[in-house]
Amino acid sequence: MFRPRIIPVLLLKNLGLVKSIRFKKFRYIGDPINAVKIFNDKKADELIFLDINASREKRCIPLDFVHKVGDEANMPFGVGGGIRTLDQIRQILKHGAEKVVLNTIAAENPDFVRQAAEEFGSSTIVVCIDVKKNLFGRYTTVFLNGKKKLKYSPVEFAQLMEEKGAGEIVIQSVDRDGTYLGYDLDLITMVSRAVSIPVVALGGANDYEDFRKAHFEAIASAVAAGSLFVYHGPRRAVLINYEHNYIFSK
């Protein structure tokens, strides 16, 4: 039976694994390479690593880290954080990653996505779109850890990224990050219906039932989460977990 990909999204800060709530309140989780080993054992479909300080510090996610993940991971993985040049993408792919995740550079220079897709293929290029609701309840597209706003709505920006050649969109609710409130199904549905490329839901997943809703109700092509895969129980005890044999059914 077909099921969508289930993707842990792992945040890096000073090369340590951390987890946030609404892009704030960072908590140290542990060693990221150890997490990769556990996700290997759990047979995770795919991993995404995001270096959350890289753009602000005007650097790229470290290549030696990408190499270590590439040596250890049994599954495909993508990385993001501070990517600004085609050569950086080339080196990241050379060191073992299957995909790169673009955020700030896509917002600041959308044509870079076209250049990257032409050079490396659309299947390699993922754009992560971060979204907040404003005081009036309207969706706004943000970047640079949610600190800057774009003129495009999430739907407009997703369509632009598809036009530029992105092969996949990760749509992330900043408001629900780390909250366990469930996905923003309205947001995911709007974006999924507006583009023909795969859309990955991210932000707020509380349990595997939320995965089912995101796929069947909001027509997400894949589902992703952070807290759900690194915490356990109401006290949020750190425990890497993953159910690779979860059965999706309507």
56 found inside a domain: yes
Per annotation, catalytic residue among 130, 175, 184, 210: 130
Confidence (pLDDT) at 3: 84
Confidence (pLDDT) at 113: 99
- The number of distinct structural domains making up the chain is 1
Residue 25: pLDDT band by 50, 70, 90 thresholds? confident
In the chain, what percentage of residues exceed pLDDT 70? 98
246 found inside a domain: no
Confidence (pLDDT) at 1: 53
249 found inside a domain: no
Q: Give the residue among 144, 71, 156 at the shortest CA–CA distance from 103.
A: 144
Beta bridge partners of 192: none
Confidence (pLDDT) at 250: 66
Confidence (pLDDT) at 147: 86
DSSP state, residue 243: -
Task: Using the predicted structure, report yes or no on whether residue 248 has a pLDDT greater than 80.
Answer: no
pLDDT in tens, 124-140: 999 999 999 998 999 99
The rounded distance, in Å, linking the Cα atoms of 78 and 221 is 17
Confidence (pLDDT) at 234: 84
pLDDT in tens, 66-123: 999 999 999 999 999 999 999 999 999 999 999 999 999 999 999 999 999 999 999 9
Residue 149: pLDDT band by 50, 70, 90 thresholds? very high
Q: What domain range includes position 180?
A: 5-238
Arithmetic mean of pLDDT over the chain: 96
248 found inside a domain: no
Q: Which helix (H) or strand (E) holds 157?
A: helix 154-164
pLDDT in tens, 170-197: 999 999 999 999 999 999 999 999 999 9
Catalytic residue check, 130 = yes
Tokens of 213: 């809703």
The rounded distance, in Å, linking the Cα atoms of 221 and 243 is 18
Confidence (pLDDT) at 190: 98
225 found inside a domain: yes
48 found inside a domain: yes
CATH code of the domain covering residue 43: 3.20.20.70
Confidence (pLDDT) at 131: 98
Tokens of 87: 């050569």
Contacts of 188 (CB under 8 A, 6+ apart): 171, 199, 201, 214, 218, 219, 220
List strand residue ranges (DSSP E) for the chain, in order: 5-13, 16-21, 24-30, 47-51, 77-80, 99-102, 125-133, 139-143, 148-149, 168-173, 199-202, 222-225, 231-232, 237-238
204 found inside a domain: yes
Q: Give the residue among 146, 136, 218, 220 at the shortest CA–CA distance from 177.
A: 146
pLDDT in tens, 197-243: 999 999 999 999 999 999 999 999 999 999 999 999 888 999 999 99
Helix, strand, coil % over all residues of the chain, rounded to 5: 35, 30, 40
List strand residue ranges (DSSP E) for 22-106, in order: 24-30, 47-51, 77-80, 99-102
In the chain, what percentage of residues exceed pLDDT 90? 91
10 found inside a domain: yes
Count CA atoms closer than 13 A to 116's CA, side-chain side. Answer: 35
